[in-house]
Structure 1
Amino acid sequence: MKRFHAHVAVENLETSIDFYSKLFGHPPTKMRDDYAKWMLEDPRINFAISARGHAVGVNHFGFQVDSAEELAELKRLAAAASSGAVLEQGVSACCYSDSEKHWTIDPQGLAWEHFHTMSDAVGFGIDTENQAGACCIPVRGSDRDAPPAKAACCIPADSSATQGACCG
């Protein structure tokens, strides 16, 4: 069964955790220094927030699935919707989870993630440009008809990164 996923980049994690905990009626299911996630059943959603240097606002949407077969079906649908422009990320550690995933970009440039989570991970993931298995969202170049970039766009892990360094 699919679960809708929304990930929002926030400026102040503590304030946002307080707000969403009150809005959803319970605390996060998973909480770290830079990340929080609510696994809601009604509506069935994986809602995550993070404070990792990305532009504040919607980071990406997606679907979390329970099986490799469901993930393969979502990949087929993503390829059909985006003329085959699917960024295969494969198995990666991201958002404190080990998952298999792929990405596509909608006509407005919004990233969509499809993933199957296998287990928890100790760290958030690798947040550096162009690393295989990195915890990143793909971006579209200036040509709206172009497929997503082959490499994902990330905020470097070091603290010298600026918010507009990559994903603006």
Structure 2
Amino acid sequence: MNRFHVHLNVADLEAGIRFYSALFAAEPAVRKPDYAKWMLEDPRVNFAISNTGRAPGIDHLGIQVDAAAALAEFGRRLDAAGTTVVPEEAAICCYAHSDKLWIEDPQGTRWETFHTTGDATTYYAGEAACATDGAACTPHVAAMTPKPATPTASCCAPKSGCC
């Protein structure tokens, strides 16, 4: 079953953890020095917050799918909708290994459709492992391009003023 995903940037991670733990009546399923995630069943949502240097507020929305086939189906739907779809395969971001599809809705809200394949020990992999020039960091999906042959910037690391 698919799961709705919300990722918020927060100014104070500990205050955010206290607030959302009370709101959801549950502690985070994942807790790191700069990140927390709740995998809720009611409502079924993957809700994450982070304090990685970006402006507080909604970072992106998304749909987490359970299988590669479901991700491929979403890719066909997104392509049929006529939006720019930017794939990011084998990404390490948010302490997870995932295959992703990034889009931007007509209002400019970033959406991430993804299939998580495992846990990671870091928030992001750094430039060598990134599939694009900044899918997790670029505020505008249309500006994303496939990773250059010689990486010049970190993909998933927070970029000052990027968002």
TM class by shorter chain equals 0.7 to 0.9
List per-residue Cα deviations over 1:97-148 (Å, max 9, x = no partner).
11111100001111100111111111011366xx43667144338xxxxx34
Given residue 66 of structure 1, which amino acid in structure 2 is its aligned partner?
Answer: D
Residue matched to 1:123: 122
In the aligned structure 1, how far is the partner of 2:75 from the partner of 2:137? 16
In structure 2, the gaps of 5 or more residues are 148-153
- What are the residue-to-residue correspondences of 1:78-117 with 2, within 5 Å? 78-81=78-81, 83-117=82-116
Matches of 1:139 and 1:154 in 2, distance apart? Answer: 12
Q: Distance in 2 between matches of 1:5 and 1:118?
A: 16
Q: Given the superposition, is the C-alpha separation of residues 148 and 132 from structure 1 closer, same or farther in structure 2, using an over 3 Å criterion? A: same
Match of 1:123, SS?
A: coil
Q: What CA distance in whole angstroms lies between the structure 2 residues aligned with 1:73 and 1:138?
A: 24
Distance change in 2, residues 1:17/1:140 (3 Å): same
Where does structure 1 lack aligned partners over 5 or more consecutive residues? 142-146
Aligned residues: 156
Deviation at 1:78, TM superposition (A): 1.4
**CA-CA distance at 1:91 after TM superposition:** 1.1
Q: Where does residue 60 of structure 1 map in the other structure?
A: 60
Aligned alpha-carbon RMSD (Å): 2.6
Give the equivalent residue in structure 1 for 2:50: 50
Cα separation, 2, equivalents of 1:8 and 1:151 = 26
Q: Cα offset for 1:55?
A: 1.3
* Contact preservation (8 Å) 1:13, 1:34: yes
Distance 1:35 1:63, change over 3 A: same
Percent identity, aligned pairs only, is 45
> Mapping of 1:1-168 within 5 angstroms?
1-81=1-81, 83-126=82-125, 131-132=130-131, 136-140=136-140, 147-150=142-145, 156=157, 162=160, 164=161, 166-167=162-163
Once residues 138 and 86 of structure 1 are traced to their aligned partners in structure 2, the CA distance between those partners, rounded to angstroms, is 14
With normalisation by structure 2, the TM-score equals 0.85
Equivalent residue, structure 1, for 2:151: none
Instruction: Quote the offset at 1:93 in angstroms.
Output: 0.8
CA contact 1:111–1:137 (8 Å) conserved in 2: no
Q: Do the aligned partners of 1:92 and 1:135 also contact (CA within 8 Å) in 2?
A: no
Distance 1:37 1:137, change over 3 A: same
